Structure 1
Amino acid sequence: MSKERTTRDGDTSGSTRQDGAESTEASATTRSDTPSGKPTGKRQGRRSSAGVEVAAGSVKSPERPKPDTKVKPARKDRADKPRRDNIFKRLRRFFREVIAELRKVIWPNRKQMITYTSVVLVFLVFMVTLIGVLDIAVIRGVTWLFG
């Protein structure tokens, strides 16, 4: 217990593995013995499985199942395509999703709606006036120039 505690509390003289042998390479790469207990951000070097033991405290990744080696014939059948639902089922699902999204919307109250509408109308009147004045100015300029 005391060896584990000294290793955990910052004894950097070299970490010892469970079998008692010192492994300075393992302590240099893993650094799980830092006083704060946080990793240093260094990656542990990958080791080949031929004759090299995994350092104590390192996590061995779980083995993943190997993919099937069977090769399917390269022909396109109707079975390969994903089956599409009935048009009515798709429309029903679409409208359900639309209603669900509309329920998430924060709707404006009456005062906000009046404010937003008046801002839009004032901006619209301003832009119509500006474009109208520019249009009249361009027409008068063209008639004066070519007129």
Structure 2
Amino acid sequence: MANISGFFGNVVSEMRKVSWPKRKELTRYTVIVLSTVVIMAVFFAVIDLGISEAFRWFLKL
């Protein structure tokens, strides 16, 4: 049991050393991540649509 309490004590100690981002940085990083996810989703949706249409066209021949 001493090992578990020592572990959590070390976790708390290390978490106090963490440099957390400021609100402005966090907002900026969140916008970057969300916009990247949206751009990649649109990109792959367009690629998927193109491949699907190519297969439909190929199967009609």
Report TM bin, short chain.
0.7 to 0.9
2:38 corresponds to: 125
How far residue 129 of structure 1 moved from its aligned partner, in angstroms, is 0.7
How far residue 90 of structure 1 moved from its aligned partner, in angstroms, is 2.4
1:108 corresponds to: 21
Tell me which amino acid in the other structure corresponds to 1:144: W
Deviations 1:50-103 (A, max 9, x none): xxxxxxxxxxxxxxxxxxxxxxxxxxxxxxxxxxxxxx3222222222222211
Deviations 1:8-36 (A, max 9, x none): xxxxxxxxxxxxxxxxxxxxxxxxxxxxx
Q: Which secondary structure state, in structure 2, belongs to the residue aligned with residue 134 of structure 1?
A: helix
1:30 corresponds to: none
- CA distance in structure 2 between the partners assigned to 1:141 and 1:90 by the alignment: 61
Please identify the structure whose Cα radius of gyration is greater: 1
Q: Which secondary structure state, in structure 2, belongs to the residue aligned with residue 118 of structure 1?
A: helix
How far residue 138 of structure 1 moved from its aligned partner, in angstroms, is 0.9
**What is the TM-score of this pair, normalised by structure 2?**
0.83
Work out which structure has the larger RCO, using CA pairs closer than 8 Å and 6 or more positions apart in sequence.
1
CA RMSD of aligned residues (A): 1.3
Q: Which runs of 5+ in 2 are unaligned?
A: none
How far residue 111 of structure 1 moved from its aligned partner, in angstroms, is 0.8
Q: Give percent identity, aligned residues only.
A: 33
Residues paired across the two proteins, number: 60
**What is the TM-score of this pair, normalised by structure 1?**
0.38
1:143 corresponds to: 56
Q: Which runs of 5+ in 1 are unaligned?
A: 1-87
